[in-house]
Amino acid sequence: MARSVRDWVTEKMETVGARGLALSLTLVTACTLTACAPNANQAAQSAATTQAAATTAVATTTQAPAATTLEHWNASSPAMQSIMEFVSASVDEGSQGYIPKADRVAVFDMDGTLFGERFPTYFNDWLYIQRALYDKDYQAPEQLKDFARQWEAKVLDGVPIEDFDAKERELGPQLYEGLTPDEYADVVRKFKAQPVWGFEGMTYGDAFFQPMVSLVRYLAENDYTVYIVSATYRDAVRVMCEGTLDEWIPADHVIGTDLLYVASGDASKDSMFYELEPSDKLNIAGTLFIKDQKTNKATAIQREIGRVPVLAFDNSTGDFSMATYTLQNEKYHGRAYMLLCDDTARDYGDPAAAASFKEKCDARGFYTISEKDEFELLYPQGVAMASAAETQAAAA
């Protein structure tokens, strides 16, 4: 029995590989068409069409299959499935949901979204307390020590501080006054190496939510430009990302609260009227330039990115402005996802607060992600929550 073209192609794929398939299929088709086609021109046209089809077939056979799940997410996660459906449509030029590469912008909050915030509080805050009170290589001014003691009592025991937000904005930057950018980065790196409060087997540099790291990688692999938009000091976030997220989120894609830098020789600290001298260095002035919070997050996105995101990932009411701004991207039907800190087995979650927060998110049209139900792994493998006794001893 004569072999079919299909049989012949199969044999050739096994013997010469996919690269030679297009040419071989074209040759055999052209020979067949020459014998039966009404004229040579039609045969040539048919052969060319077949060659193009064969080339497409080869490309299809060598293309990696599309991912159906994200690493460290539960396969049944509704949020993961909706994210992947959105992204799959956004990269398909034949889809109504297609988004050109230039407009594929995703923004992430930092603390509580990419990085834990319950050990025992935000990164920025706990760094301040540790540096002011427990860093043996640094002697903080007494006023800053006193504020750090109050702040620690607020974090650990719930003792309120009158006008806390105003005091934090004023006194927080003073702890780093006079440091150069490199010196400040070293302070952050030193803190990153410390063990995490309330956990075993993890430093602050390790304390990223593994499913969210996987999500960032997935978006970058699909030609999304990813930014962090955080209330934490921008230069601290840059250091925090080193070795974990900086492969996909470089330093110039980090937006955050800005410390004011001034020239070391500028006594007036008014950079608009001072010309930098060769001997000058940039130093932290001890004040904030801008606090990246609430609507300031939306204005920062406009100022620094210049495009409305199509995806936003956040975790608190302080992020609602950024999420709302993303939903205003009507051209590409922007989406916002809010992480719920509801896991009490692997984190210091608060299910009641998470449920209340979810209601607020639902009312605003935000998707939600349950840490407890949708994350297969939360922190890196081998990390465990410390016992209550160990946590209290560490705090003491």
Q: How far apart are CA 43 and CA 37, in angstroms?
A: 6
How confident is the model over 322-354, as pLDDT tens digits?
Answer: 999 999 999 999 999 999 999 999 999 999 999
pLDDT range class, residue 360, cuts 50, 70, 90: very high
Q: Which residue has the tokens 């088709």?
A: 29
User: Is the pLDDT assigned to residue 17 strictly greater than 80?
Assistant: no
* pLDDT-above-90 percentage for the chain: 80
pLDDT digits (tens, 9 = 90+) for 71-126: 999 999 999 999 999 999 999 999 999 999 999 999 999 999 999 999 999 999 99
pLDDT number for residue 42 = 38
Q: Provide the CATH topology of domain 78-119+196-259+287-395.
A: Rossmann fold (3.40.50)
Residues 6+ apart with CB under 8 A from 7: none
**Chain region(s) in the chain for CATH 3.40.50.1000:** 78-119+196-259+287-395
pLDDT recorded at residue 387: 80
- Residue pair 256/230 in contact (Cβ under 8 Å)? The answer is yes
What pTM, to 2 d.p., does this model score? 0.83
Name the residue with tokens 């991912």. 67
Whether the per-residue pLDDT at 38 is higher than 70: the answer is no
Task: Round to whole Å and give the CA distance between 375 and 394.
Answer: 28
Q: How confident is the model at residue 60 (pLDDT cuts 50, 70, 90)?
A: very low
Q: What mean pLDDT comes out for the span 292-312?
A: 98
pLDDT at residue 384 above 60? yes
Q: What is the C-alpha to C-alpha distance for residues 304 and 336, in angstroms, rounded to an integer?
A: 20
- Shortest CA distance to 146 belongs to which of 175, 124, 121? 175
In the predicted model, is pLDDT for residue 201 greater than 80?
yes
CB atoms within 10 A of CB 35: 7
Residues 109-125 as b or e (16 or more Cβ within 10 Å = b): bbbbbbbbbbbbbbbbb
Indicate whether 244 pLDDT > 50: yes
